[in-house]
Amino acid sequence: PGFSTKTEISDISGRGVGMDVVKTKINQLNGTVNIDSQLGRGTRLEIKVPLTLAILPTLMIVVGKQTFALPLGAVSEIINMDIKKTNTVDGQLTMIVRSKAIPLFFLGEWLIRGPKNIERDKGHVVVVQMGT
């Protein structure tokens, strides 16, 4: 634990535990994770995995002008987002899917540097499986 983009620590964020999980999983795959963070400039994440693991089915998504690949095995479903069906719980935007509240994260806020023009009232929700 230790790497976090949060400025304040809460019960569920700011402790770097999420990145520790990522590092552990990548290490289990015989890969490496390098993080270079510079105050005021941003953070660069470099994830390397063996080539045999790099050839797997993915869901290609476009965020801003960049294309990203999500491992298809982690994708549970893709649904249209209805902003009227969202709630905020402890400061986290959530949406009810299959009778469960799931947190919503706008990838443009996480993946794109610089000014952001993110439409929050429409789009698609990609539900991904976390953990085992």
Same domain for 71 and 106, yes or no, is yes
Residue 69 CA to residue 61 CA, distance in Å, equals 6
* pLDDT tens digits for range 54-68: 678 889 988 878 888
Same domain for 47 and 63, yes or no, is no
Same domain for 106 and 128, yes or no, is yes
Give the model's confidence band at 17: pLDDT under 50 very low, under 70 low, under 90 confident, else very high.
low
Range(s) of the domain holding residue 96: 56-132
Q: Are 50 and 30 contacting, i.e. CB atoms less than 8 angstroms apart?
A: yes
* pLDDT tens digits for range 84-130: 888 898 988 898 888 888 888 888 877 777 666 667 777 788 888 77
Same domain for 41 and 104, yes or no, is no
Q: pLDDT exceeding 70 applies to what percent of the chain?
A: 78
Same domain for 64 and 129, yes or no, is yes
Same domain for 74 and 88, yes or no, is yes
CA atoms within 13 A on the CB side of 80: 3
Same domain for 107 and 42, yes or no, is no
**CA nearest to 116, candidates 65, 44, 60, 42:** 65
Work out how many domains the chain is built from and give that number. Answer: 2
Residue 31 reports pLDDT greater than 70: yes
Same domain for 23 and 76, yes or no, is no
